[in-house]
Chains A and B, each alone.
Chain A
Amino acid sequence: MSDATKTELHARCVKVYPLFERLWHWAQMALIMVLLFTGLAISGIHSLVPFGPAVMLHTVAALTLLALWVFATFWLFTTGTWKQFIPKIEGLIEVAKFYAWGVFKGEEHPYKKMFWRKHNPLQAATYFGLKWFVFPAIWSTGLLYLTYNFWADSVGNASFWIWVIANLHILSAYVIAAFVVVHVYMLTVGHGFRSHVKPMITGYDEIELTAEQEAYLETNEPGRLR
């Protein structure tokens, strides 16, 4: 960007995360935590919850999360937000370079949040991978695991298949756990933990708007500006 265009931008407090998206995010966070915790209990890695209650809680949390995902999918497509999650190569390398190198030298994060594009390219690619591969892997194996008795009789060697399903389920769960570790850590990089978490709570983030964007929002969606 040239200096000329930069001067035209105004930093404004814009609502980037609507209420539903925030509810979705935090409910999903809580449910995933419950699922990881009870899942570890079911695996036998800890016994802080007895096996029976762990299975019940895991099942209820999983079904709740599935329901939430149904709503979220509906919301993503009706509001057009799905476009935010389509990964783009543009800028991806810069962001990756920043995390791998630039951040150690105190460089600025190369990505500027735009009100029509709230995730940086690396973030968008990660979420895309989660949504299209890891989450489907966890819920499809989970549902198959849960409904074992409905299909066991109609396949040969059901005990082999349940073993495969269980292992894929466990593996997907650990991928999600690894994601959580990195995801939480990433909040500390760049503008800092608080400024990264705050928008997901209040919905508002500091975004540099062009004069046209500002004028549009002021006229048509004044509620999104603060």
Chain B
Amino acid sequence: MLKRTITALGFAAVLGGIFAAAAADAQQSQPITSTADHSKFKILQQDFKSGPEVTEACVSCHTQADDQFMHSIHFTWEYDHPTTGQKLGKRNVVNAFCGNVVGNEARCTSCHAGYGWDDMSKAPQDQEVTADCLVCHDTSGQYTKTSTGAGHPPLDPVSPKAKTITGAKAWAVDLVKAAQSVGAPTRENCGNCHFYGGGGDNVKHGDLSSALYNPSRDVDVHMSPDGENMTCATCHVSSQHQWSGSRYNVMASDAHSATLKPGERRDVATCQSCHGTEPHPSSLMGAKLNNHTDMLACQTCHIPEFAKGGVPTKTLWDWSTAGKLDAEGKPIHEDNYTSSTGEKLHTYLSTKGNFDYGENVVPYYAWFDGQVEYTTRERNIDPSKTVEVNAIKGARGDGVSRIWPFKQMQGRQPYDSVNNKLVFTHVWGPDTDTALWTNFDWAKAIEAGMKAAGEEYSGEFGFVDTHMYWPITHMVAPAEQALDCESCHAKDGRLSGVPGVHMPGTRPFGTASLLGIAMVLAAIAGVLAHIALRIIGRKNREH
């Protein structure tokens, strides 16, 4: 009896141990790494009246944060390229979408991670623009910025017409709640700006859309809550508010060192930094696939399509047709594109011209060494050709280039037809008599834009076809949905047209094959002739 009791007790103890371990596991799956509860800080329990007041409270403890942040591209919008020497960043470049920030500040700087930058000609530091901590660190989910407020949040009272940077009807932000909620950036923090680049959901990148707030595994295996549930910052690692993985200077291939542990590096956002350089299983097929990593970026096979999850991306933007008005002189719109979710999208706007879109888009492929060369303000263009807004650099055999997938944006945008340069345009300005979106007059809009940018302008303009390229690196599909071999290893496969590649299966009737087939046919013909002669010989003998 006693023995049995002891056994039962022992059994219970073991069971208890198992349950305790299970409870510990459950806790580990959602680690709370912070040792601070910001809602308990006295300084965050004040009645904040503006965004900058919150920042002031933040930096009273995080003494170095604003200095660090104000030297990051998120704040300066300026990038001095170490290799090409070009001065890039939103402050400087002209793109194939809304064109340029300068001259359109309060609208475009609505996504600036600061408060009140309304003059591009001066650096934000020089205008005493305060950093916006909340846009990246709010976890209350109700912090936002107004679409035309140069980075300020909508505060009580909110104009009934006001919109947020994502295009939603604006609400009054509760700064106290936001300030007390701060934490590490989530997909929402980054996405509220980056998913809406170019003025709308997935307009610009193609692989960054609202579908990534809560993606299925099919849409993004890394960020899906059913997958790894990663945030943007899981890969875009940062050190002192400097992030890895800028599109201006891509690490096209990463000779990941075996001595580094995953997550150890703070300077790259490459696939290899976690997956290594031989990521496929050690089998015959795995070895063959690993053999491809000297030619292909991981993304090329593992992102077969972008603009997934029901959010189309803009693929064509023709500015030249903008300005058509109806009989009453009112702007018009056409909504002839229907997304897979049934949403009607603009295909013409008087303000912006014609558009086209794509969903589940097959990328454009090219050798890429990580660098692009922008058609910056000082570069001459050849208007008889399609202008490459940001020409992709790289070639086979340079040691770093890989074949990468891109979104290729088709543009048609204004240029100075005498000086042969892309022009800056003044499109947004509800109160100006020069803004295109208010006055529908290109001549005035370009003149005002060039003036704002401090550029020389001949006064003559035309429209030129452009291409702009966006490296595709998000929306990685689950392994089982990676491209099949024959997507490329076939006649007219996906990589046809990419130079410097020998690929079996792409030229079924090459020189050697034709020679060989001729040889086999000759052998067959010889055999048939031989048979015929034997039959004739036999018949002759029978006679």
Interface residues of A (CB under 8 A from B): 42-45, 47, 50-52, 55-56, 59-60, 99, 103-106, 148-149, 152, 158-159, 162-163, 166-168, 170-171, 173-175, 177-178, 181-182, 185, 189
Complex contact B512–A44 (CB within 8 A): no
Q: Which of B171-179, B366-374, B531-539 contacts A (4 or more CB under 8 A)?
A: B531-539
With A162-B502, A166-B502 as contacts: A104 and B510 at CB distance below 8 Å:
no
The residue of chain A having its C-beta at the shortest distance from the C-beta of B524 within the complex is A181
Complex contact B505–A52 (CB within 8 A): no
Given contacts A55-B288, A171-B516, A174-B519, 9 further A-B contacts (CB under 8 A): A44-B504, A47-B490, A51-B485, A55-B485, A106-B541, A158-B397, A163-B502, A182-B523, A182-B526
B444 → chain A, closest Cβ, in Å?
Answer: 53
How far is B510's CA from A168's CA once the two chains are assembled, in angstroms?
A: 12
Interface residues of B (CB under 8 A from A): 284-285, 288, 291, 294, 396-397, 484-486, 489-491, 500-502, 504-513, 515-517, 519-520, 522-524, 526-527, 530-531, 533-534, 536-538, 541
15 A/B residue pairs, CB under 8 Å, sorted by A: A43-B504, A43-B508, A43-B513, A44-B508, A47-B490, A50-B486, A51-B484, A99-B530, A105-B541, A152-B294, A159-B397, A166-B512, A173-B516, A178-B520, A182-B523
In the complex, chain A residues whose CB is within 8 Å of the CB of B526: 182
Chain B binding surface SS class? helix
**Closest 10 pairs (CB-CB, A-B):** A174-B516, A104-B537, A44-B508, A167-B512, A51-B485, A170-B512, A52-B485, A178-B523, A44-B505, A51-B486
In the complex, chain B residues whose CB is within 8 Å of the CB of A103: 530, 534, 537
Q: A-B pairs with CB below 8 Å: how many?
A: 109
How far is B288's CA from A60's CA once the two chains are assembled, in angstroms?
A: 12
In the complex, chain A residues whose CB is within 8 Å of the CB of B509: 45
Complex contact A185–B515 (CB within 8 A): no
In the complex, chain B residues whose CB is within 8 Å of the CB of A99: 530
Chain A binding surface SS class? helix
The residue of chain B having its C-beta at the shortest distance from the C-beta of A39 within the complex is B504
The residue of chain B having its C-beta at the shortest distance from the C-beta of A107 within the complex is B537
A103, A168, A170, A177 — which one has the most chain B CB atoms within 10 A of its CB?
A: A170
Of B291, B513, B530, B541, which is within 8 A of A170 by CB?
B513
With A60-B284, A181-B523 as contacts: A52 and B486 at CB distance below 8 Å:
yes
Complex contact A159–B485 (CB within 8 A): no
Complex contact B538–A44 (CB within 8 A): no
In the complex, chain B residues whose CB is within 8 Å of the CB of A42: 489, 504-505
With A105-B537, A185-B530 as contacts: A149 and B291 at CB distance below 8 Å:
yes
How far is B291's CA from A148's CA once the two chains are assembled, in angstroms?
A: 8
In the complex, chain A residues whose CB is within 8 Å of the CB of B484: 50-52
